[in-house]
Chain A
Amino acid sequence: MTSTIKYKLLLSIGLLSAAIIAFQLVLMQILSIVQWHHFAYMIISVAMLGFGAAGTVLSLSRTWLLKHSEIMVPVLMMVSGLSMSFVVGWSQSSFTRFDSYLVFADYRQAGKLLLTYLLFFTPFFFGALAIGILFVQYVASISKIYFADLFGSGMGGLFALVLTWIYLPQQLPAIISILPIIAGIIILPGRSKSRALIIILSFLVILWQLAHPPQLIPSQYKDISKTLLLPEAKVTIQKSSPYGFVQTVTSPVLRYAPGLSLTAQNTARVKAAAFVNGDWFGPITSWKKEDSSFILDYTTSALPYVMRKRNKVLVLRTSTGIDVAHAVSHDVESITTTEPNSVVLSLLKKELALASDSLLYQPKVMSQRMEPRTFLMMDTARYDLIVLPMTGTFGGSSGLYALQEQAIMTREAFQEMWLRLNENGVISITSWMDYPLRNPLKVLATMVEVLYNSGIKNPRAHLAAIRSWGTITFVLTKSPVTVTEVANIRKFCDDMMFDPAILPGLKAEERSSYNQLQDERFFRYIDQILSENRKAFYDEYDFNIKPATDNKPFFSQFLRWENLNRLSHFFGTRSIPFFEVGYFLVLVTLVQIAIVSFVLILLPLFKLGWSGKNKFSILLYFSGIGLGYMFVEIVLIQHFILYFGNPVYAASAVLTSLLIFSGLGSNVSARFIGSKKDSYLLFVLIALLLLIDAFVLMPLLQNTIHVSLPIKLVIVLLLMGPLAFLMGMPFPSGLSLVSKSNPEAIPWAWGVNGCISVISTALATILSIELGFNWVLFLAALAYCLPVIGLSWF
């Protein structure tokens, strides 16, 4: 390999790897638009097994592929690029398009799902096969090649981030597909006419695809699809961004009034509705008194304003401004509000300023662009009222949010809110009444734990809750609820036909004067949560209603696996996926990829032989580093999102710097890791750093959250840089070891790593929910001990 070829080759690998990561991220967004986030994850996980499959194919056809590598590698790269530009369009054809909502109701959708898997698998498989051939062929230079791979992947993440600001989601696959085609052209051999023809044809195809991007058709069950069926409904604004695809829809019959009082006479019209990736985000309403009374005054959300006048309000999550408008309509003195989605904020300040009556330009409104929890940790002001976003969804969310980390819904977050209240301050949160009961009980449990934790002996004195036919609003008060406040609440309930659920001096019969429940156990549950025996109740209840914590911030995760049989008995087996469809899908994903991976890992052994030549040590080594790396990546992304207060940029920064630092580690690995002893030392160092991180990472980040951005960046680089640098070394040094003892097993080792990396993303999610993030870091440290065992048998 001459130095010129080597340079070209490295560039080519970098471009291909960048395209693969960029395509993966773009695909995630496209599938989130047409289906849902978790289905997108399920599909992409299977597609990413293209890496494992490539390892298997390479193991089985090693000789032939290496013999024809000069032509095969560029051709595979170009085929990968071309398939990137086509698969999204094909997946949207009527023959292939499946509806994820129907997968559990209509099993005929399964065939379409299988076709979708196959389509999205294609570009990853061909791209991975090209990389795999080069890994095997140039194993002596593996540290350089792996560096190019990781560096390219890191840049691919940034590339996707930039592109999503500029182009619509459906245009992106064709743009990204240019990279693998260029990667192929760079190393395409010869100067013949056929070479020129291939280049011209490839670009003509891409140009055609750019001019005719596929039409994305969202599932008929997505919020935007249903809204667009309304009379005269039309999309008025659409903006692509890494925060998601934001669209606004107008229709004369659009209305918003969650759990509206039966006494209300308002029409509850809204001027527009905003959607992110086709999911409901919020209404844009008029708030001026002269238009009408504010609609939320006819819902239970009015509770904190009914109790007494509020002057200083904090709205945690602006969304489209409905809670801010509510506060403005009550003539409060100042409103602070925070929202991380900069696109929605920008819309409210520009295109939607008129429709929202210039809400964010009101002198009393101070708008922050930040994750609400990050703001809460940095803020030092005190408030009369802290408003949380409504929890649950009308009629139940079907568990779509079970895996969503909700940093403002943890016990620690409520504790911070409690500290931000002034003497008469309250925290207010409204929840849909769900069935079976989950959200309201968990909200109450969180509030009660905070009260006990703050030394309040009688939590009932600091709580009030009122209930309409569909919603319940809780307030947690810093000082005991006063007699005047109780009188105000009672009058409001009478006027609106609401019922008090928690109130000092409340009689049992008052709890359902207007809105009766067939199952009145709800009130007993409330009383049990308010009692000192609440912890026994948490254990007895069929759903997980223990307050979420920062270590396990999954507020909407309610399912307890040990009760699955009971739930299946009461509600029918077909209902079960809809209780916690998000979690259920990750399990399905894990099972699917585990089965396919099992086959992909075992298949080459029929050729390579089952025993001898370090098979088990290779399996341990490459499984361990695959598991460990992905576990660390997922935990770090979660922690840094909170630290920086911005999900998109934090995730990109973590991913990119992790990959680049690992690439640098890989680049120098040959120099530092020369013997088994060096490898042992390397793994001990990695495991030690991870154990230290498990203890110090979260407290360190929480205590330095107030510092300026440059200092934060330095802290993050110091925390992550050395770890990522070391984590980049085991893969190339492992392949070098394999090349010395059993070169035929190199593709298999690479395939094992590919399969286990995909498995570990799903596994990390499940472990985070069940055990918490700290445990995932511990397990990452343990995973890095597996290669140590493997090494001893090399």
Chain B
Amino acid sequence: MNGVIPCLLFLFFVSFFQEDYKEKREGMVKLQIEKRGVKDAAVLNAMRQVKRHLFVPSSSIPDAYNDGPLPIGYGQTISQPYIVAYMTEAIKPKPEYKVLEIGTGSGYQAAVLSPIVKEVYTIEIVPQLGTAAANRLKKLGYKNVQAKIGDGYYGWKEHGPYDAIVVTAATEYVPPPLLEQLKDGGRMIIPIGSPFMTQTLMLVEKKGKKATTKSLLPVMFVPFTREKK
């Protein structure tokens, strides 16, 4: 009998906090993502499902659903929820897709892709981050995600070609091997911008031996010139 009350209290608090985060996730999707124009139902569902607070350091859990990036150590960040959703929507994901992610980080982007596409392959160059993310993804049951530690420059040729490639770490150049491993008509999305700043994104579309890029501004703003009086 002595142990029942603490157990009930424990269950109450666990369920209370789970509920709280579910509400926060719902709020995040509604206010930060849908309101800004992300419409893909599969992406919105994934953002509702994936428990972002499990992908951030324990000290940042209260801020996990805030409208901003968070530090995850080793000079890396987990992107703002809206950017994750926007990047996922930008590759136009389909259930049969095979997607390569460069820069696993905490594993959040891979987890968001997991329920939307068939297979996700993810590579992280920082061993400490890569190992932690791989364990986390495994523990949380993301079975269609395969993670490895390595140099993302060369992609993951054995599983290619890919329908889409998501590069989550900003890079000064597009590695040629990644373009090679992209299917004809495939899309690659790359963020540009330093951590904690409003980021722009670059979408690369492969068309035969050629490719075009499009710079995307997730947060569209009114012109930078003041209206003449």
User: Which residues of A are at the interface with B, using a C-beta cutoff of 8 A?
Assistant: 101-102, 104-106, 108, 219-222, 225-226, 229-231, 253, 255-260, 262, 264-268, 393-398, 433, 435-437, 469-470, 497, 514-519, 521, 537, 540-543, 570-572, 574-575, 578
- For the A-B complex with A258-B173, A262-B211, A572-B68 known, give 13 more contacts whose Cβ atoms are closer than 8 Å: A108-B59, A226-B74, A258-B172, A394-B192, A396-B193, A435-B192, A435-B198, A514-B210, A519-B220, A521-B224, A540-B228, A542-B225, A543-B224
Kindly state the separation between the CA atoms of A571 and B69 in the bound complex, as whole angstroms.
14
Query: Contact partner of B197 among A106, A398, A542, CB < 8 A?
Result: A398
Query: Contact partner of A395 among B59, B170, B210, CB < 8 A?
Result: B170
Task: List the A side residues contacting B202 at CB < 8 Å.
Answer: 469-470
Task: List the A side residues contacting B211 at CB < 8 Å.
Answer: 262, 497, 514
Chain A nearest Cβ from B26, distance in angstroms: 21
Kindly state the separation between the CA atoms of A578 and B193 in the bound complex, as whole angstroms.
11
B110 near A: Cβ within 8 Å?
A: no
B173 touches A253 (CB 8 A): no
Kindly state the separation between the CA atoms of A515 and B211 in the bound complex, as whole angstroms.
9
A260 touches B196 (CB 8 A): no
Given A220-B75, A497-B210, A514-B212: A257 touches B193 (CB 8 Å cut-off):
no
Chain B nearest Cβ from A348, distance in angstroms: 22
B172 touches A257 (CB 8 A): yes
Chain B nearest Cβ from A320, distance in angstroms: 16
Chain A nearest Cβ from B229, distance in angstroms: 11
A433 touches B125 (CB 8 A): no
Task: List the A side residues contacting B179 at CB < 8 Å.
Answer: 262
Task: List the B side residues contacting A257 at CB < 8 Å.
Answer: 172-173
Kindly state the separation between the CA atoms of A222 and B194 in the bound complex, as whole angstroms.
11
Chain A nearest Cβ from B9, distance in angstroms: 29
List 8 tightest A-B contacts by C-beta distance, closest first: A260-B173, A395-B193, A469-B213, A257-B173, A220-B75, A570-B221, A540-B225, A542-B224
Task: List the B side residues contacting A470 at CB < 8 Å.
Answer: 172, 192, 202
A394 touches B210 (CB 8 A): no
Chain B nearest Cβ from A567, distance in angstroms: 9
Task: List the B side residues contacting A219 at CB < 8 Å.
Answer: 75
B37 near A: Cβ within 8 Å?
A: no
Kindly state the separation between the CA atoms of A397 and B199 in the bound complex, as whole angstroms.
12
Chain A nearest Cβ from B189, distance in angstroms: 12
List, sorted by A's number, 12 A–B pairs whose CB atoms are closer than 8 Å. A253-B125, A253-B151, A253-B153, A255-B173, A262-B211, A437-B224, A470-B202, A515-B212, A515-B213, A516-B213, A521-B224, A542-B224
The total of chain B residues at the interface (CB under 8 A) is 48
Task: List the B side residues contacting A267 at CB < 8 Å.
Answer: 153
Chain B nearest Cβ from A732, distance in angstroms: 49
Given A255-B153, A435-B200, A543-B224: A102 touches B71 (CB 8 Å cut-off):
yes
Tell me the B52-92 residues at the A interface (CB within 8 Å): 59-60, 67-71, 73-75
A469 touches B215 (CB 8 A): yes
Kindly state the separation between the CA atoms of A518 and B195 in the bound complex, as whole angstroms.
22
A220 touches B194 (CB 8 A): no
- Nearest opposing residue in chain B for A577, CB measure: B196
Given A105-B69, A262-B174: A537 touches B195 (CB 8 Å cut-off):
no
A395 touches B194 (CB 8 A): yes
Kindly state the separation between the CA atoms of A255 and B200 in the bound complex, as whole angstroms.
22
- Nearest opposing residue in chain B for A521, CB measure: B223
| A contact patch SS | loop
Task: List the B side residues contacting A265 at CB < 8 Å.
Answer: 176
Kindly state the separation between the CA atoms of A226 and B129 in the bound complex, as whole angstroms.
13
B14 near A: Cβ within 8 Å?
A: no
A519 touches B217 (CB 8 A): yes
Task: List the A side residues contacting B193 at CB < 8 Å.
Answer: 395-396, 435
B5 near A: Cβ within 8 Å?
A: no
A259 touches B173 (CB 8 A): yes
Kindly state the separation between the CA atoms of A790 and B42 in the bound complex, as whole angstroms.
74
B174 touches A229 (CB 8 A): no
Query: Contact partner of A221 among B195, B204, B217, B219, CB < 8 A?
Result: B195
Kindly state the separation between the CA atoms of A437 and B214 in the bound complex, as whole angstroms.
16
Kindly state the separation between the CA atoms of A219 and B71 in the bound complex, as whole angstroms.
12
B46 near A: Cβ within 8 Å?
A: no
Per-position binary interface string of chain B over residues 149-175, scored 1 when its CB falls under 8 Å from any chain A CB and 0 otherwise? 001010000000000000000101110
Kindly state the separation between the CA atoms of A106 and B217 in the bound complex, as whole angstroms.
25
A570 touches B222 (CB 8 A): yes
Kindly state the separation between the CA atoms of A105 and B60 in the bound complex, as whole angstroms.
11
- Nearest opposing residue in chain B for A102, CB measure: B71
A104 touches B196 (CB 8 A): yes
Given A253-B151, A253-B153: A229 touches B225 (CB 8 Å cut-off):
no
Indicate the member of B75, B216, B224 with the most A CB atoms within 10 Å.
B224
Given A259-B172, A394-B192: A516 touches B224 (CB 8 Å cut-off):
no
A570 touches B125 (CB 8 A): no
B126 near A: Cβ within 8 Å?
A: yes
Kindly state the separation between the CA atoms of A578 and B71 in the bound complex, as whole angstroms.
16
B226 near A: Cβ within 8 Å?
A: yes
A395 touches B199 (CB 8 A): yes
A395 touches B197 (CB 8 A): yes
Query: Contact partner of A518 among B75, B125, B196, B216, CB < 8 A?
Result: B216
Kindly state the separation between the CA atoms of A195 and B69 in the bound complex, as whole angstroms.
57
Tell me the B8-57 residues at the A interface (CB within 8 Å): none
- Nearest opposing residue in chain B for A433, CB measure: B215
Task: List the B side residues contacting A255 at CB < 8 Å.
Answer: 153, 173
Kindly state the separation between the CA atoms of A260 and B213 in the bound complex, as whole angstroms.
12
Task: List the B side residues contacting A229 at CB < 8 Å.
Answer: 74-75, 125-126
B197 touches A396 (CB 8 A): yes
Indicate the member of A104, A514, A518, A521 with the most B CB atoms within 10 Å.
A518
Task: List the B side residues contacting A571 at CB < 8 Å.
Answer: 198, 219, 221
Task: List the A side residues contacting B67 at CB < 8 Å.
Answer: 572
Task: List the B side residues contacting A537 at CB < 8 Å.
Answer: 225
A578 touches B225 (CB 8 A): no
B214 touches A518 (CB 8 A): yes
Kindly state the separation between the CA atoms of A222 and B74 in the bound complex, as whole angstroms.
10
Kindly state the separation between the CA atoms of A222 and B193 in the bound complex, as whole angstroms.
15
Given A105-B68, A470-B192: A516 touches B217 (CB 8 Å cut-off):
no
Query: Contact partner of B215 among A225, A253, A515, CB < 8 A?
Result: A515
B68 touches A262 (CB 8 A): no
